[in-house]
Amino acid sequence: MISKGGSEALLQTLVDLARTASPDYGILLPLFRLLAKVGLRDKKFGKKALELEALDVTLILARKNLSHSQNLLHCLWALRVFASSVTTGAMLGVNGAMELLFKVITPYTRMRTQTIRAATEVLAALLKSKSNSRRAVNRGYISGLLRLYQDWHSHDTVHAYIQIRRALLLCLKHIAMLRSGREAFLAGQGLEILFSTTQNCLDNKNMEPVTSIVLQILRQCYPKCPLPLATASSAYVFPVPGVIISEPPCVLTEEDFEDDDEGEVDKDSDSEDLKEEENDLETDVNKLSSKAGLDRPEEELKQYEVMCCELSCSFEELGSRYGDDLNFEETQCANHHHIPTAAASPRQHCLNKDLNPWGLEREDTVQTCILSMVKMRRSTVHLTSKKRPVMKTYQNVDSSGFGIDSSGNRISDVQASIKEDTWDIDAISCSRMSASFSNSTRPKEITAEVIDKLLQTHPKDIPFHNPYLYMANARRTRSVAHFKMVAFPDLWGHHPPPSAQPMLERKCGVQRIKIFEDVQRLIQPSDVINKVVFSLDEPWPLQDTSASCLRFFSKFESGNLRKAIQVREFEYDLLLNADVSGTQHQQWFYFKVSGMRVAVPYRFNIINCEKPNSQFNYGMQPIMYSVKEALLGRPTWLRTGCEICYYKNHYRQTAAAAGGASGKSYYTLTFTVTFPHNEDACYLAYHYPYTYTALMTHLDILEKSINPKQVYFRQEVLCQTLGGNPCPLVTITAMPESSSADHLEQFRQRPYQVITARVHPGESNASWVMKGALEFLVSSDPAARLLRENFIFKIIPMLNPDGVINGNHRCSLRGEDLNRQWLFPRAHLQPTIYHAKGLLYYLSSLGRSPTVFCDFHGHSQKKNVFLYGCSIKETLWQADCTASASTLSGASTILEDVSYRSLPKILDKLAPAFTMGSCSFLVEKSRASTARVVVWREMGVSRSYTMESSYCGCNQGPYQGLQFGTSELEEMGAMFCLGLLMLELRSVSCSHQLLASAAVLLNTEEEALDHHLQWCSSSNSTPTELEDEPPCMEEIDYNTESGPDPDEGCFELDQQIQECAFNKDNGEEEEENPGWE
């Protein structure tokens, strides 16, 4: 009907009828109903009505029928449809439509409520026009709207007229989009009125249509202000080449946030006028194709020859490297059989009688080959993980305060002899990097002797950890702030929790409660303490130890907390430090808090987060480490906190700090923690910390734990970082069987596998995955032995040491994201990337490009573990709607090795945390300078990946509903390595000797092995892609300007018209029973 000119015909009929001497309402009323239904579906209806002068005649008819309810109602329906076009709505405002509507909208009454509802909805539609909103401000309509809302709210005790109250709020919401509207709203006590009328209705489901809009108005009108920081720049400054550090002014006005544009934008025009953002997929085949050539002179590649000694050294050189008189048994200082898998995980000690009270395997425990799990398939590999008891934080504490192990026994007499009341927790919890543990002379350092004594009695049972070695390495670690203290969890060590921790169930309404509490601060400032109790920007010490407030500290490796402000007695606002040499990337946190009371809920608000959404809204919890718990025998990072919420707040970055652009928004992470002990020292972190010093200590211990006659383990320096720290490069393979020429040749001809991690410092989960991979590769597991005998592993476990050390979330000391520097790195600016790429170039120049390249990362938005790969065809197919015909025809002739899908398919079958459904093989323009894309394109590595591990946990498989612990992450590292072995077993080039060895490992025939390999590679059982986020119990609205308004739908108006169509027109009627609600 619309396409045949039906709208124009109906509008012309309306104009002709309205201009007759006595309009026939028997025809006009059904005509209005038809116009309203058609107009809702005609995007150009307002423009057509304006051209045919239907706006004027409808306004005239409405004025003539102010006392006739039914006739007026039909006119209002037509005006509602006309006003859906912003341009037409502005014209109606010029012609006095708003003044007319205020004659219809009256204080509370049970008469003519259907007409009043229609009038408020028309007014809300008109006020979407900025000119109308500005007119409403100038004429003082805001105070009138607030009085009307108060009146309807106070009288409508049974919530019969929710839709009228909702429409009045929509009017206020649209006006509040203007700066002048917000000012008028605040001057009219709007915040106080909406706060007082809604605070007792937050849990009332019937009030949901009203409450949701109130929240949007409160957030929109809450005065925007800068963060309570002297500057947006990082508190730590590092002078690096090419960076000019300046202090942006911190002067903020409303102009920094929004410009009241005088123009009107009609959003209801044709879809061609609503251009979508440019697709990020790369559609240029030339840019997707392999690129030959180097980014540096070829002679520079010779420097990497020394990093590949395995290609040139003789057997004698290999043997002499460890010394002739080396006693392997004496060098073992860790459990050589420790393999990070759930099947042999410390978390399942309750199911294994051979485990000691600490949950670690004894040396004589028979180790099951990880490869044999292939026979059991994924459903039974982690059978016990589904039967584990769900862990409650700090559940094993008896009445005396001392720990109980998983068997119900008291902890050892040695630890029980330590009297808790003699501990100086504040001093113990953050040790000074002294030359030794017992040479301190200062009063504050006297507890170093106590720590030394505790370490001597502490069981040495945390695998691959040594506090003495950690302290020695910590003294060599160089930081921008010259850290003098070592965090207790890093020194003492972490033991995985004995059981899984489920995702936190989100409490309905938690976000709105937090927002209302924020508003309460503004309107009731007398209740706010607002006392700075910690700041990196203030002279130290800032805290009064005698005051009744928590004490904070973050000046240690990987620590990040810039400022703490006590808001109420048990509530604190926290601000994170920006990445060094930058003004952004505040997300990672790690700090110490002490001086707490037991059983008191403390609320923490981290108010300068930057990401627009977080897994904290979907079951993720921060983590906590209690020093007293550790001294009682439970040195464990645990997920903790309740009433967790992540939402947009009222803080903004100044336009000056944002480079002249509109100031960006900040987000609040709020959580409540109840601490397990009085006067404890606890550490809180975004995710399980893994410091640079922890890595260097781990590598040292790993090197001493291996059998040098069997395992080739070489640790060397890839380069020095900008901060003066060595970036380690690790080579792992098997020693040649003998000094024969054949065995030496096999040793040198093994294919390479290259693995990197931690280019983003805040992604500490990547380091835990890497830790699991390293420990597995050097273990005595037969599958690990096969991997060593058939591959050479080149591993760079930490690409951004400086960022990790200094508590950055994403960048280097230059404030750069190093994973966007792979196209053109420079040795003096991005040394780790430059030399990592140079090493890959060198291998490629020898014809030894890696079979697989993988960069380990962490993901804050998704669950599970998954891979990103690269495919030309999949990228072009996905972008076919925007690619040119010539590009697509060219894509059909492209030959591409599809083996890039093999590894993720194998991991989907092997690893319980991995899901193929979240994998992607698209190449985006914005990722052109990442490691994955550059190694794929420039080195021709078809299996070039980024492996992402969730900060949160899994929503599928055996770990469904559980948050990741360090055990699951380490297991993923081991499973990744196992996947590489399965990938080789499936390859055409796989040697018969390797197949035979694997068959022996599985204790089966080669035919059976083939069956298992086919199962691992089958694609018909690939799970369908799961939704990343389960539906939340409430809408999480971060931006009141985004998304469609709730009044834009046509369903409700359709329903009103439909109900009226079957009723006779009886003129004005009393509406005692509001059944239409």
Counting every residue written for the chain, the total comes to 1077
Write out the two tokens for 1003.
């204790």
**Amino acid (one-letter) located at 793:** F
Choice among 763, 775, 948, 970 that is catalytic = 948
Q: DSSP readout, 946-987?
A: EEEEESSBBSSGGGBTBB--HHHHHHHHHHHHHHHHHHHHHS
DSSP 3-state of 405: coil
Burial class (CB in 10 A: 0-12, 13-18, 19+), 8: middle
CB 850 within 8 A of CB 753: yes
Distance CA 464, CA 460 (A): 10
What residues contact 988, with CB distance under 8 A and at least 6 apart? none
Other C-beta atoms closer than 10 Å to the C-beta of 805 total 27
Instruction: Give the span between the Cα atoms of 185 and 146, in whole angstroms.
Output: 9
Torsion of CA 944, 949, 954, 955, to 10 degrees: -50
**For residue 588, what are the contacts with CB-CB under 8 A and spacing of at least 6?**
560, 576, 686, 687, 761, 762, 807, 808, 809
Name the residue with tokens 């509802």.
Answer: 117
Q: d(Cα 79, Cα 49) in Å, to the nearest integer?
A: 10
Let me know: does 35 contact 14? Beta carbons within 8 Å. Answer: yes
One-character DSSP codes across 753-765: EEEEE-SSTT-HH
For residue 478, give every residue at least 6 positions away whose Cβ sits within 8 Å of its Cβ, in sequence order, or none: 723, 724, 725, 805
Which residue's structure tokens are 């059989």?
337
* CB-CB contact of 686 with 795 (8 Å): no
Amino acid identity, residue 70?
Answer: Q
The single-letter DSSP state of residue 888 is H
Q: Cα–Cα distance between 127 and 52 in angstroms, integer?
A: 23
Count the helix, strand and coil residues of the chain and give each as a percent rounded to the nearest 5.
40, 15, 45
In this structure, what token pair is assigned to residue 90? 């502005």
DSSP string, 125-152: HHTTSHHHHHHHHHTTHHHHHHHHHHHH
3 state DSSP class of 570:
coil
Taking the C-alpha atoms of residue 1073 and residue 1077, their distance in angstroms, rounded to an integer, is 9
For residues 514 and 667, the answer to whether their CB atoms sit within 8 Å is no
DSSP readout, 833-878?
HHHHHHHHHHHHHTT---SEEEEEEEESS--SEEEE---HHHHHHH
Q: How many alpha carbons lie under 13 Å from residue 600 in its C-beta half-sphere? A: 15
Establish whether 948 is a catalytic residue. Answer: yes
- Active-site residue set: 948
